[in-house]
Amino acid sequence: MITKEGKIVLASKDDPIVLESGEKIGPVEVAYETYGQLNEKKSNAILICHAFSGSAHAAGKKSQKEKPGWWDYMIGPKKPFDTDKYFVICSNVLGGCSGTTGPSSINPETNKPYALDFPLISIGDMVKVQKMLIDHFGIEKLFCVAGGSMGGMQSLSWMINYPDNIQNAILIATAVRHSPMQIAFHEVGRQAIMADPSWQGGNYYGVSIPAKGLAIARMLGHITYMSEESMEEKFGRQRKDLKSTFKYNADFEVEHYLRYRGDTFVKRFDANTYLYLTKAMDNFDAANGKPLEEVIKGHKYRVLIISFTSDWLYPSKHSKEIVKACKRAGVDSVYCEINSRYGHDAFLLDLEEQATLIRNFLNSSAKVKRHEHKSGL
């Protein structure tokens, strides 16, 4: 698999990006990775949109010591996103902390990290930057845009904001807008971060990061990504054999696991990015208050929508809302609810049924494309 990684400045201080809020930001640097080769017609490009804590590193291993990318089982030769056929692109989102401009980046006005001076961003702003990256590659139309969770929101935003620039979309475990429960979980995580004395109003860079608050936020979030069944299977009521006499030590395996997840998250993620990205997700309303079918009506892309039976954070009813809108709008769509016990995290795991669905959808879309080309449509 031919893999390349890079960074590109897509906006400057003198020519900034205008955000949906009306605020401007520049320069904007974007980190990305590509897999496979772009064909001569530039018609085989697939954009992968990462979820909340993801990055541009979607597949492969940068070194023997590092873990493979977050969707490695899906991207590569002979895999569903087959890099022998497709040119796969994944970029870190605007507001991120893995190479793309975000609150931890240097503000050219102060020569210090933006912190909370970074403007509020939206899912639409993330997609606008992705469109600029696609334009940089000279790609007029993506063969497919795909993602799960926050990545699914980005894919849905592509369907609405750039309908003529995509042929297919894959939306996995996502929603048109967040429910009050989803917003509530995010707010508890944000409050945990802001209650940490080390947060210092967001100005902790170069001093002491709000590690405890961010770890707790991640622990809470990780609980919502799993299901009761998967937690029972993975941990049960097993206890750790610890010698500490502290009364509130991590006695149970599940406690130890959550603390481990929180501690490792702190090492790779920025607390302010947590605030900005969760707020962007909570503010997301794909159709801006209008019926979704109205804003996608008449568009010619094909859509695959996938949900999971045990996902209580993004339950199947959210996906079915998108399916109904597609049907009412006359958009060619396919829906499948996969029986899985892994909760919301199911889309990140090696599920053969998901892989088969995506592979078959892309193959059938390629056949439709060839038929339309031969027919002169």
Q: Say whether 84 is catalytic.
A: no
Query: Which of these, 281, 376, 336, 340, lies nearest to 49 by C-alpha position?
Result: 281
Phi, psi (5° rounding) for residue 199?
-65, -40
State the Cα–Cα distance between residues 45 and 94, nearest whole angstrom: 21
Options 311, 319, 340, 365, the catalytic residue: 311
Whose tokens are 């709000």? That residue is 210
Options 82, 318, 344, 345, the catalytic residue: 344
Burial call 120-145: b when 16+ CB within 10 Å, e when fewer: bbbbbbbbbbbbbbbeeeebeebbbb
State the Cα–Cα distance between residues 163 and 143, nearest whole angstrom: 12
| 184 contact partners, CB below 8 Å, separation of at least 6 | none
Q: Say whether 311 is catalytic.
A: yes
Phi, psi (5° rounding) for residue 119?
-70, 150
Q: Say whether 82 is catalytic.
A: no
Phi, psi (5° rounding) for residue 154?
-65, -45
State the Cα–Cα distance between residues 243 and 251, nearest whole angstrom: 10
State the Cα–Cα distance between residues 236 and 191, nearest whole angstrom: 30
Options 91, 98, 105, 149, the catalytic residue: 149
Q: What is the DSSP letter of 141?
A: S
- Active-site residues, by number, are 149, 311, 344
